[in-house]
Chain A
């Protein structure tokens, strides 16, 4: 990996309510220009890691108790959450979190606050509408009345307005039909290639995440258990079986054959 990563997470531990430890010594890097996928089951700590990076943990009574998180070489704890956004680190939160009582365009306007204090950065709604033509049609409507897919588009559109260098995407596929998931991931890949935005992508859906990502980490109970370039992860026996749902031979398996209670994951031993 590149020597100076855009985002460098080093041995981070996170504790909620001063009692519940969620991350235990997690390290990962996001190099400039790449999409890094972070996979793991429910409760593995994926969302927690993103909130630690964007400094939104305090809102939920969580705290980073050890380790360091550096964005562009600077500790994220030094900036308030909105300050990080203005430095170019945009967190697209889980569950979309659009402003339902505002119109689509007002939602984009809200994101222009991210440009405060940045010289020469003008808000470009047309670029958002180019990636998501459907938002243009509905720009005067209340965002709360958008469909789930359109709301996800709006959430990513807000991020685009802020012109980030790093986007944290928390499960963009959540609750969407497979067709829409494909559409949105195609656009995510385009944004990465065309706007040179690096991304840290949290997903449950390993197949779509690997389709766009360059590098992957797999998280279990607050630790990275395996990582590598996506091509290598796709060949890994355990990843294939537990995350991609493919048998050893490569074909799709029937649920009837699932016997993972008999076979331990190799990285646990």
Chain B
């Protein structure tokens, strides 16, 4: 019984950890290409949830179409934000750009409240309801679907950056903008692509998160937990976001089950503090190569 309970808690933890990881990838994509920490990721995730609600419940579209449209909406938003707010700030200090993303987050919260009100809402049911058993352990079907979706997307990103020319362009731009220009890489396009991919990913994650826990204008705080994830994993590492997400999901679930829900954050942030003391650049973050 005890072992089974532990297994179920851990499964649930890994399930929510996968969503952390997926959202973490959105942070990492933008940071990797542009050295900007985009604090509005949480709000873009929220907007993805509301967009799904709008397309599925408002326009009555089938769930799959609504999901695709929500992801596309996120991508469009990313493109728009990069073009109109971020690109004019090129060359400004990272802190200024950081502040712009905080402002953007507030604007998105305000817009959503204008459109849908401040109360939490439920997304229409679109996931299978048959319980999933792994061995004897029960796993909520929504969490299982979320896990699989997150795993597929993260695997796709990992493969893209490991094996494709686009990955080289992204890494080159991240390493040295001037040099990236000088070898013929279209740097503004790389920025644009990073924002589009990241915001589309965040919007997709918003649909998954919303399907499990419902949506509300304040669900953007999910982004703050994810910030912990990416700092632990290393801000510029997709693999780091994956490991960090699963780790935090697991730790939160275990802390919630054995210490009580109020200890979740305490445990997470203690872990963050300890880790930063040992590895300031995160588990998988790049530390610069020093040549002597």
> What is the interface of chain A, defined by CB distance below 8 A to chain B?
54, 56, 59, 61, 80-82, 85-86, 90-93, 97-102, 106-107, 109-116, 142, 144-145, 148, 158, 162
Contacts and interface: CB of A to CB of B under 8 A. Distances in A.
Contact of B178 (A56, A85, A102): A56
Interface of B: 91, 165, 168-169, 171-172, 174-188, 286, 288-289, 291
Nearest to A155: B179
Contact of A99 (B165, B176, B184, B291): B176
A56 B182 contact: yes
Given A82-B184, A82-B187, A113-B184, A106 B168 contact: yes
B179 A81 contact: no
A59 B177 contact: yes
A110 B187 contact: no
B172 A102 contact: yes
Given A113-B183, A114-B184, A101 B289 contact: yes
Contact of B183 (A101, A142, A162): A162
Contact of B175 (A56, A80, A85, A101): A101
Contacts of B174: 101
B182 A97 contact: yes
Given A59-B178, A97-B178, A102 B183 contact: no
A111 B179 contact: no
Contacts of B172: 99, 102, 106-107, 110
Given A109-B168, A112-B165, A144-B289, A93 B186 contact: no
Contacts of A116: 184
24 contacts: A56-B182, A59-B181, A80-B186, A85-B184, A90-B182, A91-B182, A92-B182, A97-B178, A97-B179, A99-B171, A100-B288, A100-B289, A102-B168, A102-B171, A102-B172, A106-B168, A107-B172, A110-B169, A110-B183, A112-B165, A113-B165, A113-B183, A113-B184, A158-B183
Contact of B179 (A61, A93, A109, A145): A93
Q: In this complex, which of B168, B184, B185 has the most chain A Cβ atoms within 10 angstroms of its Cβ?
A: B184
B181 A81 contact: yes
A145 B289 CA distance: 8
B183 A111 contact: yes
A86 B187 CA distance: 13
A66 to B, nearest CB: 24
Given A112-B165, A145-B289, 9 more contacts: A54-B182, A56-B181, A80-B188, A85-B184, A93-B178, A100-B289, A102-B168, A102-B172, A111-B184
